Amino acid sequence: MSETQLGELLSRGARAHLIGIGGVSMSTLAEVLLRGGTTITGSDQSESDATRRLRELGIPITIGHFPESVRGAELIIRTAAVLDDNEEITEARRLGIPIFGRAEAWGHIMRPYRNAVCVSGTHGKTTTTSMVTQILLSAGTDPTVMIGGTLGSIGSGCRVGGGDTIVLESCEYADSFLNFFPTIAIVLNVDGDHLEYFGTLENVKKSFARFAALTPPDGHIICNADDENTMNALGGLERELLTFGFKPGAAVRGEAERVTGSGASFDVVYEDRTYCRVKLKVPGHHNVMNALAAAAVAIALGLPGEAAEDGLRDFIGAQRRFEYKGALRGADIYDDYAHHPSELRALLDMAFALPYERVLLAFQPHTYSRTSAHMDAFAEQLRRPAKTYLAEIYAARETNTYGVTSQDLAEKIPGAVCCTTLDELTAALAREARPGDLIITVGAGELDRVGAALADLGAERVT
């Protein structure tokens, strides 16, 4: 289906049915389209906070996928995880209802904006998009925003503004971000992920290069000078790159970095002058790099250094990015979305810099393909905590054609405990918790329920 047809349908407020509407990007898309006058219905496999919030906005949502759900729709928008054998897709094809991907819809939405800031990277997209948003708000630019998580300062993952700037988290899975029209393309890092689609790291690099090349000649490609894969991927573009990093040759250079248990600080130097001095309330070198990328966006947009300073100072984290949930029996409980070995490494590097006696980590592997491809790398990181607990693999869009289980991973981690249900995992952590512990629930699936349940137990003890 063509973008022209999609534009015509959306411009006249046609009824759009969103399959997989509860996903972070899809739920945000639903809100943006609704506010733009499109009539929305939706379906998802399970109930969630996102589906409940959308219902409060007046969107009818069906739990489960049924052919009758698409009847009456004038167009279908589906998440990348919804495949051609989905019952609703099959029925839509039978009825001749045009079907579009989520990324195609976002691409259409960003077209009219003078500045389309697209934040890509294997890791750090949600945090960096949130940081850019905070800077734009501080600068008074009234941006439109799509974040793959909830940003506390706007109380949502989306914001519809009246300004000429849109900022979007831009995912590489299934080449989704190749449907976008960036004027500013950010590449935070490039790593071997989604290999069930890409096959090899080299193919991942090629995808990011194609994404960066979508920027017009007068646009900006912002990329991580400290990441070898990124520079290798983009080195052949024959385009000027606005690099960021701590290496001497970076155009936007970080200096005087100081990471503490509760935050970090550093200077941003551009054209041999200090552009701004950043003080973060979130810890970890990975967050310093995310903030440096966000400052590079501010420079590309011509914003004053004060806006970057104020926005980054006000940033207190995005939902599910080392998010504090509560305490139980003297142990602090945090939740994090990390689902790749590199993200686990960055998370644990930060955790071990904090003043806790023990780190207890509960991990839910995300997809069979990722678990199989990175089994040893996951095990290497999961050996680091004092004790590691594993939930069953979260299948997401996959079936277990890889023949891999969480027990396979547990066998590579001395002392690891493999739990068959989330209730069992919650009970095991509750028994183990003691003063001085840091408990982190980690994964892109449903493990955040465990952190919430532990926090509820702690609240009950207090009352």
Distance CA(273)–CA(263), nearest Å, equals 24
Q: Report the alpha-carbon distance of residue 334 to residue 349 in Å, rounded.
A: 15
Sign of CA dihedral 150, 147, 103, 234: negative
Higher pLDDT, 457 or 435: 435
- Closest of 295, 319, 312, 311 to residue 157, by C-alpha: 319
Does 160 score more than 90 pLDDT?
no
CATH 3.90.190.20 fits domain 323-462: yes
pLDDT band at 2 (very low <50, low <70, confident <90, very high): low
- Residue 31's pLDDT band (boundaries 50, 70, 90)? confident
Per-residue pLDDT for 318 more than 70?
A: no
pLDDT tens sequence across 55-78: 999 999 999 999 999 999 999 999
One-letter amino acid of 450? V
- Assign a CATH topology to domain 112-314: UDP-N-acetylmuramoyl-L-alanine:D-glutamate ligase (3.40.1190)
Q: Is the pLDDT of residue 199 over 60?
A: yes
Q: What's the pLDDT tens digit per position in 344-355?
A: 988 898 888 888
The confidence score (pLDDT) of residue 42 equals: 97
What is the per-residue pLDDT for 461?
64
- Compute CA 431 distance to the chain's CA centroid, rounded to the nearest angstrom: 32
Is pLDDT above 80 for 304? yes
Residue-wise pLDDT for 225-259, tens only, equals 999 999 999 998 989 999 999 999 999 999 999 98
Cα separation, 284 vs 393, in Å, equals: 27
- How far apart are the C-alpha atoms of 229 and 362, rounded to whole Å? 30
Q: Looking at the chain, how many residues does it have?
A: 463
Q: Is the pLDDT of residue 419 over 70?
A: yes
Smallest Cα–Cα separation from 101: which of 42, 40, 176, 34? 176
Q: Enter the pTM of the model.
A: 0.81
CA distance readout (Å), 391 to 103, 421, 440, 449: 31, 7, 13, 12
Q: Is the pLDDT score of 266 beyond 90? A: yes
> Domain 3-101: which topology?
Rossmann fold (3.40.50)
> In this predicted structure, what is the pLDDT of residue 148?
78
Q: Measuring CA to CA, how many Å separate 313 from each of 63, 131, 141, 265, 295?
A: 40, 10, 18, 10, 12
Query: What pLDDT is recorded for position 379?
Result: 96
CA distance 291 to 268: 10
Three-class SS string for the chain?
CCHHHHHHHHHCCCEEEEECCCCHHHHHHHHHHHHCCCEEEEEECCCCHHHHHHHHCCCCEEECCCHHHHCCCCEEEECCCCCCCCHHHHHHHHHCCCEEEHHHHHHHHHCCCCEEEEEECCCCHHHHHHHHHHHHHHCCCCCEEEEEEEECCCCEEEECCCCCEEEEECCCHHHHHHHCCCCEEEECCCCCCCHHHHCCHHHHHHHHHHHHCCCCCCCEEEEECCCHHHHHHHCCCCCCCEEEECCCCCCEEEEEEEECCCCEEEEEEECCEEEEEEEECCCCHHHHHHHHHHHHHHHHCCCCHHHHHHHHHHCCCECCCCEEEEEECCEEEEEECCCCHHHHHHHHHHHHCCCCCEEEEEECCECHHHHHHCHHHHHHHHCCCCEEEECCCECCCCCCCCCCCHHHHHCCCCCCEECCCHHHHHHHHHHHCCCCEEEEEECCCCCHHHHHHHHHHHHHHHC
Q: Tell me the average pLDDT across 150-174.
A: 86
Inform me whether the pLDDT recorded for 307 exceeds 90: yes
pLDDT confidence bin for 94, thresholds 50/70/90: very high
Residue ranges of the domains in the chain? 3-101, 112-314, 323-462
- Residue of 233, 228, 239 lying closest to 205 (CA atoms): 233
Percentage of residues in the chain having pLDDT higher than 70: 98
Given a contact cutoff of 8 angstroms between Cβ atoms, the answer to whether 358 and 386 are in contact is yes
pLDDT at 210 over 70: yes
Mean pLDDT, the chain, integer:
92
Q: Please give the residue that has the higher pLDDT: either 297 or 447.
A: 297
pLDDT given for residue 150 in this prediction = 74
User: How far apart are the C-alpha atoms of 350 and 354, rounded to whole Å?
Assistant: 7
The pLDDT, as a whole number, for residue 375 is 95
- Radius of gyration in angstroms for the set of CA atoms belonging to the chain, rounded to a whole number: 22
